[in-house]
Structure 1
Amino acid sequence: MNSGSPELAVVVIVHGRHEHLRRCLSSLADQVLPATRVVVVAMADDRAGALAEPTGAELGLPITLVAMDADPSRLPLARARNLGVAAADSANLVLLDVDCLADPFLLQRYADAMSSPRPPGLGSGPVVWCGPVTYLGPNARVDLPGSDPASTPRIDWQMVRSHRAPHTARPDPAAGALVPGTDLRLFWSLSYAITAADHAAAGGFDEAYEGYGGEDTDFARRLGTAGGGICWVGGADAYHQHHPVSRPPVEHVEDIVRNAALFRARWGSDCMTGWLEEFEGLGLVRRTGDGWQTVQGAR
């Protein structure tokens, strides 16, 4: 452990997934390096806000709640992250998806990475520090045996770690290793660390993106434009709790078409092309010159 590790605040944005939120907070209570503050941004979700503060009190977590008005049908994820960063009022930040369980060493690994000399090749621009993410299956048990269902779940880390299988699309360095990346397109906001100064240098998340898709890829472009980079942090593991998904995410087709058009207008290139082509095959969208539009009456 690095005795000079910086203090870290954690930002979690949420709408629904209330049991996932309780387990996410439980994982943060198990950290080797405690968070100085845990900001929960509840997007159009009074119940999440009502859960966060008593759960934090039960776990001994310093919770700051940000209640955010929003249209539940088109959640402003980018704006929520920016609000969370501002409310954290911290020089060093970890942003964690509500679906993620933070391994007990996650904050320590991120703090050590941020306080270490920069690895050669990372440059001097803003940096996102990213750890491995394992997607847990629907039958993965995460609670300690005998947990009281009326209380906040406590995590069975031996069991959770037995499922470790980081997503193969991204690097998985040895614990404690720092590996500069070359492809900013691999940035996901599921789990990453950044300084408040670097968040500002990249311009934050573009709040024009609303609903599902595009804001992470746009943030990576903003980071690259600012001369920034990505560094993979070995051992900063997060475990994504299972929830049902559509493949492709047909319930988000309107958001994806809108946000893809915004991305092309911003950057002159495409994003989310794989999903759009799958939607096209299902008759949900059609190409219009360089862009896409939804097919009326297709759903």
Structure 2
Amino acid sequence: MSLSVCTLGFGRAGHLANLVCGLDRQTVRPAELVIGVMQSEPYALPDTAFPVRQVMLDAPHLPLAAARNAAARAAMGEHLVFLDIDCIPDPDFVADYADRLAGHDAVLMGEVMYLPAGATDKGIDFPHFATVAEKHSERAGPPITPTGICRDYRCFWSLNFAMRRDRFLALGGFDERYRGYGGEDTDFGRTLAEAGVPILWARGARAYHQYHPHHMPPVHHVESVLANARRFRDKWGEWTMQHWLRAFVLMGLIERRGDDYAVLRAPGADDLALTAQQSHRPYASSARVLEMLEAGRVADASSYAAA
């Protein structure tokens, strides 16, 4: 079985270098790494024992869907593994996917663990990562068996997944009408569900997500989240990313108008402070912020920042 790893790149050169080094330490190396580069310059990367190719997409508005599709079309492997630029694959990552994919015409989603700030300061240390990493509280745990069925397409997550290349291309890949942040994942999950392609959780195929400051809900992308949620509604007849939209309403960023939403204002310093990932936490939590908003416990951003 030949397996191509695909990732996307926009900035974060250090994170990508760690991803590449992680792939070079695999017990079973991939056939190649293909990078959809969403910036004007290619990356300078470490030497590897496998081919690395960079597909250039110097386009505005973070063309995430188009970049994934371009990487998949350029890939040569029978199977594709999509891995986010922030992730470092565990040494058995490729071997686990090769084992789990055998005999499955399905989408498999491997494990993701989150590293705290500073975890990679001394280089790639997998025993250390396993000790300090945390599971995301808003994501399902791995199954007891090698694979387990995921019955809700909304749980599909492009951070770490694998499938047959011919199936990906036959489905048309990600819908490139989604621009900027948000929505293209859930749209692809819905496409899988409509086509009857199973979505499976995979035990193993673990990736360690490297720390970086982030916002959840993603208030810094409110415009594209709303535009993409509207695009999903027009395509499938219902809204997606509703928990983010609810948070934006409670924050006074948008309001519901009939069967649509309107942007009221751009996020300010308090909104950014409220949703910012805290340096002592390995990941940002939409659920935590939304719970505080629903309970009316957010008088100002400092109440969250101190929590």
* TM-score normalised per structure 2: 0.83
Residue in 2 aligned with 1:158? 127
Residue in 1 aligned with 2:117? 138
Output the CA distance in 2 between the equivalents of 1:182 and 1:247. Answer: 25
Aligned partner of 1:259 among 220, 223, 228: 228
Output the CA distance in 1 between the equivalents of 2:141 and 2:107. Answer: 14
Output the CA distance in 1 between the equivalents of 2:29 and 2:185. Answer: 27
Shift of 1:276: 1.1
CA contact (8 A) 1:132 1:167 kept: no
Q: How does 1:87-102 map onto structure 2 within 5 Å?
A: 87-102=74-89
CA contact (8 A) 2:6 2:71 kept: yes
**Structure ranking higher on relative contact order (CA contacts 8 Å, 6+ apart):** 1
When residues 135 and 298 of structure 1 are mapped into structure 2, their CA distance, relative to the original with a 3 A threshold, is closer
Q: Which runs of 5+ in 1 are unaligned?
A: 1-5, 119-125, 146-153
Residue in 2 aligned with 1:51? 44
CA contact (8 A) 2:83 2:161 kept: yes
Secondary structure of 2:7's counterpart equals strand
Q: How does 1:199-278 map onto structure 2 within 5 Å?
A: 199-278=168-247
Shift of 1:165: 3.1
When residues 45 and 15 of structure 1 are mapped into structure 2, their CA distance, relative to the original with a 3 A threshold, is farther
Output the CA distance in 1 between the equivalents of 2:63 and 2:185. Answer: 13
Residue in 2 aligned with 1:30? 25
Aligned partner of 1:62 among 51, 74, 88: 51
Output the CA distance in 2 between the equivalents of 1:101 and 1:50. Answer: 17
One-letter amino acid matched to 1:39: V
CA contact (8 A) 2:147 2:202 kept: yes
Say how many residue pairs are matched. 267
One-letter amino acid matched to 1:43: M
Residue in 2 aligned with 1:171? 141
When residues 294 and 111 of structure 1 are mapped into structure 2, their CA distance, relative to the original with a 3 A threshold, is same
Shift of 1:270: 1.1
One-letter amino acid matched to 1:128: V
Shift of 1:230: 0.9
Output the CA distance in 2 between the equivalents of 1:161 and 1:297. Answer: 39
Q: What's the CA shift string for 1:182-240, capped at 9, x where partnerless?
A: 12211110001111122123321000001000000000000111111111111111111
CA contact (8 A) 2:3 2:77 kept: yes
CA contact (8 A) 2:175 2:187 kept: yes
CA contact (8 A) 1:76 1:207 kept: yes
Percent identity between matched residues is: 38
Output the CA distance in 1 between the equivalents of 2:193 and 2:15. Answer: 32
Q: Which runs of 5+ in 2 are unaligned?
A: 269-307
When residues 247 and 167 of structure 1 are mapped into structure 2, their CA distance, relative to the original with a 3 A threshold, is closer
Output the CA distance in 2 between the equivalents of 1:297 and 1:12. Answer: 31
Secondary structure of 1:109's counterpart equals helix
Residue in 1 aligned with 2:64? 77
Shift of 1:298: 6.6
Output the CA distance in 2 between the equivalents of 1:249 and 1:228. Answer: 29
Q: What's the CA shift string for 1:41-84, capped at 9, x where partnerless?
A: 110241xx1313xx2xx23331111111211xx11100000000
Output the CA distance in 2 between the equivalents of 1:158 and 1:77. Answer: 32
Structure 1 stretches of 4+ moved >4 Å: 296-299
Moved more, 212-221 or 62-71: 62-71
Q: How does 1:8-19 map onto structure 2 within 5 Å?
A: 8-19=3-14
Residue in 1 aligned with 2:92? 105
Shift of 1:170: 1.4
Output the CA distance in 2 between the equivalents of 1:15 and 1:297. Answer: 24
Output the CA distance in 2 between the equivalents of 1:182 and 1:127. Answer: 13
Aligned partner of 1:128 among 84, 102, 107: 107
Q: What's the CA shift string for 1:134-170, capped at 9, x where partnerless?
A: 121224x235x4xxxxxxxx51111111124333421
Output the CA distance in 2 between the equivalents of 1:20 and 1:275. Answer: 27
CA contact (8 A) 1:129 1:233 kept: yes
CA contact (8 A) 2:183 2:232 kept: yes
